[in-house]
Amino acid sequence: MPKKEFENDSKTLEQLKHLGKKIKNQLDDPEEDDLTFDTQVRSRSNVEYDEKEGRLALGDSYSTRKFLNISHARKFMQTLMVASKTKELIESGRTAAIREVYYQLKHSVPGLDENTFEDQDESNNVVVDIETATGAIREDLHLFAEKKGSLFGPVVINDSGDEIDCMNMGTSGLAIPSIVDHYEFVECEADFILLVETSAMVNRLVEEDFHEEHNAILISAGGQPSRGVRRLVNIMHDRLDLPVYVFTDGDPWGYYIYSVLKSGSMSLAFQSDRLATPDAKLIGMTMEDIEEYGLEHVTEDLKGKPEGNGGPTKDYKRIHDVMDYEWMQNDQWQNQFQKMLDKGVRVEQQALAANSLEFVANTYLPEKIENKEFLN
């Protein structure tokens, strides 16, 4: 494979160098009695909902990480190690999985009974820190995550010179990588994008030829959509001007998946403009579907304890949490949550199979799309 050069490389290198110089200057300055660098606060307290744009954004609170503060020191060291590793990647024209970076840098710290990194979560977290500290996103740093999610449908993609016809991907589909910015869309016959929570449901739809019959691009999220999936939906919506429908379970977790795709997530709020698709709409499952499609006997009871009865715990707690988010303050949403609480039930997208296997492809989805029966 040829060396990979991305368009932002020289800018990214400058940013990394800037970070290094800043630390070096602190060392050279006799007045400085600590090493510091600033990162944007990424906790919920600094996440704001931009109502006009319909997505989450980071506020302007910064926190200073200090080397001599023992609760920061370890992360401080890790950040510099990962930053210098990414600089090396860019300079050598390579990309690496964040898991590879983790293994490259992991070793026991001499003189201590600890490793530079104990698990991959630690290095993943540090990568996000570097993103916010330098303003360079992960892709700019030549880092990628494991592929997650898959795509089917009438679209032809050029990936680094290879053309991929996503209509001819068999039952596997195109595995969605974490870096998709370089994709070029050569051809597109699709009318809409359908993002589906579970891959089992995507398999069902592919088996029923739903993508062919309805000119749909099917994307499985496999639970919480990855950065790659979110970025792909974002650029396809922008560049191909396709409507985006989201199909999840009728429970607080499913609805949160929808909100992440639509408005962005709290931990990556600083990248919402690249990752969020505020025009996305939820197709279901809704609480009304239960009566409408005769699913009363296939609902599941909410887990945990309701409020005022030892709760809320588990599902009940999740509903209350999600109901409180600023970006969920819309009547349709609140109404859905209230109904979940009142009925004490949730309904999975697979529950539709209670009617028949092809029911979801032949009846449920077409009717919803035809009637424009969406939650916004």
Partner 1 sequence: MPNGVEEGMEAEGGDHREISVAEFFEKNKHLLGFENAQKSIITVVKEAVDNSLDACEQDDILPEVHVIIDEYDDEKCRVEIRDNAIGLDRETIPKVFGKLLYGSKFHKLQQSRGQQGIGISASAMYAQLTTGEPVTVYSKQEGEPCHKFVVRIDTEKNEPEILEDEIIEPESDEFPGDKDYFFDHGTTIEMNIEAKYTRGHHSVRNYLKHTAIMNPYARVVLKEPDGNKIEYPRVSKELPEKPKEIKPHLHGVELGVVLRMVDNSNARTVSSFLQKEFTRVGRTSAEQVCEEAEIESGRRPNTLDKDEVEDLLKAAENVKLQSPPTDCLSPIGEDLMEKGLTKELNPEFTETITRKPTVYKGNPFQVEVGLAWGGDIEDEGSFEELRYANKVPLLYKKSACVTTKAIENVSWNRYNISQTGNRPQGPLYISIHIASVWVPFTSEGKEAVANYDPIRKEMKLALQEAGRKLGKYLKRKERREIQEKKKRQLTSYAKEMAPAIAALADEGNEAEMEDKIQQLVQNDYNPEQL
- Binding positions for Mg(2+) are 197, 249
Under the criterion CB under 8 A, does residue 142 sit at the interface with partner 1? no
In the complex, the smallest distance separating the C-beta of residue 22 from partner 1, rounded to whole angstroms, is 8
Assigned token pair, 53: 């744009």
Assigned token pair, 56: 């989450």
Closer residue to partner 1 (CB): 33 or 60: 33
Q: Annotated catalytic residue: which of 103, 183, 256, 293?
A: 103
Stretch binding partner 1 (CB under 8 A), from 21-29, 193-201, 273-281, 294-302:
21-29
- Count of C-beta atoms within a 10 Å radius of residue 114: 10
Asked if 133 and 63 touch (Cβ cutoff 8 Å), the reply is: no
Asked if 183 and 163 touch (Cβ cutoff 8 Å), the reply is: no
In the complex, the smallest distance separating the C-beta of residue 32 from partner 1, rounded to whole angstroms, is 8
Residue found by looking up tokens 């932002």 in the block:
8
Stretch binding partner 1 (CB under 8 A), from 81-89, 212-220, 229-237, 319-327:
81-89
Q: Is 103 labeled as catalytic in the residue annotation?
A: yes
Asked if 135 and 7 touch (Cβ cutoff 8 Å), the reply is: no
Pick from 5, 7, 10, 34: which binds partner 1 (CB under 8 A)?
34
Closer residue to partner 1 (CB): 6 or 76: 76
List binders of partner 1 among 98-117 (CB under 8 A).
109-112, 116
Stretch binding partner 1 (CB under 8 A), from 68-76, 187-195, 264-272, 330-338:
68-76
Under the criterion CB under 8 A, does residue 127 sit at the interface with partner 1? no
Asked if 116 and 107 touch (Cβ cutoff 8 Å), the reply is: yes
Assigned token pair, 122: 């630690």
Asked if 304 and 314 touch (Cβ cutoff 8 Å), the reply is: yes
For residues 67 and 75, give the distance between their C-alpha atoms in angstroms, rounded to a whole number: 9
Under the criterion CB under 8 A, does residue 36 sit at the interface with partner 1? no
Assigned token pair, 171: 């039952």
For residues 311 and 204, give the distance between their C-alpha atoms in angstroms, rounded to a whole number: 37
Asked if 293 and 364 touch (Cβ cutoff 8 Å), the reply is: yes
Under the criterion CB under 8 A, does residue 68 sit at the interface with partner 1? yes
Positions that interact with partner 1 (CB under 8 A):
16-17, 19-21, 23-24, 27-28, 33-35, 67-68, 70, 73-74, 76-77, 80-81, 83-84, 87-88, 109-112, 116
Which active-site residues does the annotation give?
103
